[in-house]
Structure 1
Amino acid sequence: MSDEQPQMLLREQIYNEVWELSLAGVARKYGTSYGLIYKLCKEANVPIPPAGYWTKLNFGKSVTKPPLPDSTIYEVDIPRSKMPRVRVQKIDKDRAIISEAEIEATQLGEDALNNSDAGSKLVMIEDNFLEVGLDTGEMPLSKSSKSEKYINNRISPEATHNSFSDKLAFLDEDERNKVFDIASRVGIPHEKAKMHPKITAYKYVVSDWNRNDKKEVGAQRSRQNYSSYKSSPPFLAGVISKETLSRVYRILGALIHAIEPLGCSVTDTLSFIIRNESVSLEIYEMQDKVDHIITKSEENQLRKYEEDKKRYSWASKPNFRKYDYVFNGQLSININQNQNKRFRDTKSTTVEDQLGTLLIEMYEAAEIIRKEREAREEERRKREEAERLREERRKRYMIEVERTVALTNLAQDYAMACRIRAFVEALESSGNLKGEDLQRIDWAKKKADWYDPIIAREDEFLGKRDHEKGIDLKTEYPWWQ
């Protein structure tokens, strides 16, 4: 079948396909424009998915499909066209609407809006953001100074139902739906839009560091390449060209404006606080490796070397690098330096196109951070509890040792008292006692009572005996008495 021949579809068939593939999907399937499919459905009284339907379906929300109403139309003719068209009219610096002007689209998702036509909704978004809404949901559009158009199709309306069904399962239903809704509508601010105050303040940190950066022009630049410096560069410094920084600030501005309605915030160093967890982004501009071009300074060094070589045998040839590294304008964003969560510019998409997914992954990262933090805190709590129990057991052990030693010392003193009393009893039973012996027996009995920890008699000269202490620590005998 040639491109010019119409295609005959049963009305029920186009109804089923519109609800299975979306209007844009049917248009692509039959090689025609979105607007024409929209118009034919209206003429044949075929219901179409409302705005936001595919986003809700992708994120597991409840959706309804109306039945096909009766009609006298049985078949629909679908002519082929090679290029869909979009219509955009500039109103002022900060606003735009869909209007009468037509712009041909030649490349899907990059050079122009390509999934809209006569059936597109008229949408005007304020607060310095521009979006265009289709039946597949709302797809934000940003406009640069060169009139380049980007479709921020961060979450494709034709993604499978399960694409995000396992995402944000840790949130309650209301919060989850709110995050999905904002992720589906996040848009890039215009270049002349007012920056977020945190970004405005942080720009000076980056510019000040870049101004004092000692790296040579053409040197390879990444955070790892600055490891020899006393301190690593702050976020964004040294790894992004001056020309690309403004684009990065707009991306960060879009993310900040997206998270703030969700109760999140951003720090002075542009780390994101999501559900009370700090989520950091690593953003850098990729570099092309090119052959090194000798600089004037290096030419002078070579010239000096040639002159020195003629006069000195020890002349050393300067060593220059073989390659230069040139920023190429392509961005890469990692979440918490996780290479598995990387968003980058490619031939078919830009970082701006992926902001909705990036936002969702930032939430996922925050949950991972929370779990890791709580795991660390639990591990620390267990260590502290184990240490507390060890210390408590050590103290109890020492107490037990002291009590045992004291008991032993008490028993030793009591044994001594018993031995003295047995000796006194033996003397008394001998029957041949003199007056001096009787005095000695009375003295010995008193000493037995002094040794006996039960009686614990205080001696006139020796004082009280510390029965619980060892023999070396008992009451000392004053030498002067």
Structure 2
Amino acid sequence: MAEEQSQMLSREQIYNEVWELSLAGVARKYGISYGLIYKLCREANVPIPPSGYWTKLNFGKPVSKPPLPDSTINEVAIPRAKTPRIRVQKVDQGTATISEAKIEAQQDEEVVNNANARPDDVLEARLDTDALSISSKTDDCSNSEAAHNSFSERLTFLVEAERNKILDIANQIQIPHEKARLHPKIATHKNVVIEWNKNDKKEVGAQRSPQNYSSYRSPPPFLAGVVSKETLPRVYRILGALIHAIERLGGSVTDSLTFIIRDETVSLEIYELQDKVDHVITKSEENQLRKYEEDKKRYSWASKPNLRKYDYMFNGRLCININQNRIKRFRDTKSSFLENQLGLLLIEMYESSEIIRKGREAREEERRKLEEAERLREERRKRHMIEVERTVALTNKAQDYAMACKIRDYVSALESSRNLAEEDIQWIDWAKKKADWYDPIIAREDEILGKRGSSKGKQSETEYAWWE
């Protein structure tokens, strides 16, 4: 069944219904997505209840409702659509009863309160206590002996005392109260995220995930761009609980909020999932289409605006990967929020530290082997060069000795061949000295040429080549 014409509602009516029924309640009333009603309220400057509003209201705490601000928009267009089919499953979580609605048209799920709470408000109802303790759970048996033994087996690389301490802290991990002071490292990083998000060039409705920013010359800081402003406080509380637990175990956290566990760096990848919804044409895009239709009548080269078909809206559901390892993924599910899984997440982080340690040591061993092989190659090269130099020096000395013998033979033959004049005697004396200069055994130093230097390897082959 095709969609009918949009229904026009005044800003005042939308404002009143949002504060009476919640965003999720209004979305259900008109059969549209949570992301779409959220976007329409933002475009029309309609304030929405902040995180924790319905929790405080349900618990009788004082709440405030801001007045409807002025806007140039007087009416909001609500698309008329087929009433979505909703599958409801009730899950008893202590004080909160959760309904899980599956809207077939969007192939997505919204976890909402039976009455009128948004997904994050249900979470607030479950967590809105001072330092609420949440035990790590796996198939509802986290406190059982079997689960304890299972987790213990995963930490066998640790001594028993350290293993038991980790399991105890994982079982007692606590979520800070929403008004609790942030850890100093989180408070500092929060300003970094705010500043980066302020300068982010991605337009509203664009797809946002760590992979969407991978092409950036410099990747955004941790949490920037991939978590909505409304969900960031929840992420900071999760990180606060993990940091407190790891610091109790002797670890620490860096300025960029990566964890130092057993002297190894363990990082988390945290991002908020997004709903894919049909793109709602903005006024600017309407003007572009109108201009295109006008230009098309006059110019053959008119180009149709390239408008995207879908928008991506943050839905409040979080996902955590350890060291960008998507095999070990923690996420909000239909039956358990991330806050319920922090004990197991802590154990996985310690497991990851061991994997990282083994990987680092393997790389260091490989590097050591490469360096040792390079050292042996350099040592062999030096020994080879020394041997070459010694061999060349030997041949030089042998050649010089042979030359000395030739000179002496020649001088001896000259002396016995005829009577020698005074000039011949002086020359023979000079020649004998030159023979002693060549002879490496005598190594006579010449008054002009100095020492022969036949022990200097290759140098002696060319230094006095003119003499030979």
What's the TM-score, normalizing by structure 2? 0.69
Which of 86, 91, 94 lines up with 1:107 in the alignment? Answer: 91
**CA apart distance, 1:110:** 6.8
Aligned to 1:335: 322
Is 1:470 paired with 2:460? yes
Match of 2:384 in 1: 397
User: How many Å apart are 1:461 and its aligned residue?
Assistant: 4.2
Partner of 1:169: 156
Task: Give the aligned partner of residue 434 of structure 1.
Answer: 420
Q: CA deviation at 1:374?
A: 1.6
Residue in 2 aligned with 1:352? 339
**Match status 1:223 vs 2:205:** no
For 2:310, give the aligned amino acid: Y
1:429 to 1:319, Cα distance in 2 relative to 1, 3 A: same
Alignment partner of 1:363 is 2:389: no
| Cα separation, partners in 2 of 1:187 and 1:92, compared to 1, 3 Å | farther
User: Aligned-pair distance for 1:252?
Assistant: 0.5
Equivalent residue, structure 2, for 1:188: 175
> Residues 414 and 452 of structure 1 are in contact (CA less than 8 Å); yes or no, is this contact kept in structure 2?
yes
- Partners of 1:183 and 1:466 lie apart in 2 by 78
Write the deviation string for residues 190-249 of structure 1: whole angstroms up to 9, x where unpaired: 212222111111111111111111111111001221234342211111111111111111
Pick closer, same or farther for the CA change 1:174–1:110 going to 2, 3 Å. same
Unmatched 5+ stretches in structure 1: 1-89, 94-105, 114-141
CA distance in 2, matches of 1:344, 1:316: 43
Structure 1, residues 297-341: CA drift from partner, whole Å, max 9, x if none?
111100111111111111000011111111111110000000111
Kept in 2, the 8 Å contact 1:255–1:355? The answer is yes
Give the superposition deviation at 1:458: 2.5
What secondary structure is seen at the aligned counterpart in 1 of 2:399? helix
Q: What is the CA–CA distance in structure 2 between the aligned matches of 1:394 and 1:236, rounded to whole Å?
A: 52
Question: Per-residue displacement from partner, 1:149-208 (whole Å, max 9, x unpaired)?
Answer: 798341412473552242111111111110011011112112122221111111111111
Contact 1:466 1:474 in 2 (8 A): no
- 1:116-165 deviations in Å (ceiling 9; x for gaps): xxxxxxxxxxxxxxxxxxxxxxxxxx996546679834141247355224
Tell me what 1:160 maps to: 146
1:35-77 per-position Cα deviation (integer Å, ceiling 9, x unaligned): xxxxxxxxxxxxxxxxxxxxxxxxxxxxxxxxxxxxxxxxxxx
Cα distance in 2, alignment partners of residues 294 and 421 from structure 1? 109
Match of 1:300 in 2: 287
Q: Distance in 1 between matches of 2:192 and 2:428?
A: 96
In 2: Cα distance, 1:352 partner to 1:433 partner: 118
- Counterparts of 2:340 and 2:300 in 1: how far apart (Å)? 61
Structure 2 residue 267 is the aligned partner of structure 1 residue 280: yes
Q: 1:443 to 1:282 in 2, by over 3 A?
A: same
- 8 Å CA contact 1:110, 1:348 repeated in 2: no
Q: Deviations over 1:457-480 (max 9, x none)?
A: 223444332223434213978xxx
The worse-fitting range, judged by mean Cα deviation, of 223-232 and 209-218 is 223-232
Aligned residue runs from structure 1 range 125-136, under 5 A: none
- The Cα shift of 1:358 comes to 0.2
Distance 1:147 1:446 in 2: 108
2:195 maps to 208
Take 2:172 and 2:324, find their aligned partners in 1: how far apart are those partners? 26
1:258 aligns to 2:245 (yes or no) = yes
SS in 1 for 2:333: coil
Match of 2:361 among 374, 382, 387: 374
Distance in 2 of aligned mates of 1:338 and 1:110: 33
Instruction: Please state which structure has a larger fraction of its residues in helix.
Output: 2
> Quick one: distance in 1 between partners of 2:391 and 2:61?
92
Task: Give, in whole Å, the separation in 2 of the partners of 1:296 and 1:151.
Answer: 48
Partner Cα separation in structure 2 for residue 197 and residue 390 of structure 1? 51
- What's the C-alpha RMSD, in Å, of the aligned pairs? 2.7
Count of matched residue positions in the alignment of Structure 1 and Structure 2: 347
Against the structure 1 CA distance between its residues 174 and 427, is the aligned structure 2 distance closer, same or farther, given a 3 Å change threshold? same
Secondary structure in 1 matching 2:150: coil
For 2:420, the aligned partner's letter is: K
Change (3 A) 1:353 1:421: same
Q: Which amino acid aligns with 2:460?
A: G
| Alpha-carbon distance between aligned partners in 2 of 1:377 and 1:474, rounded to the nearest angstrom | 52
Residue 384 of structure 1 aligns to a residue in which SS? helix
Question: Are 1:454 and 2:438 counterparts?
Answer: no
Alpha carbons 2:133, 2:175 under 8 Å: kept: no
CA distance in 2, matches of 1:111, 1:312: 65
Deviation at 1:379, TM superposition (A): 1.7
TM-score for the superposition, normalised by structure 1 = 0.67
8 Å contact from structure 1 (residues 110, 349) kept in 2: no
Q: Distance in 1 between matches of 2:390 and 2:464?
A: 16
Tell whether the 8 Å contact from 1:343 to 1:358 is kept in structure 2 after alignment.
yes
Q: Read off the aligned partner of 2:311 and give its amino acid letter.
A: D
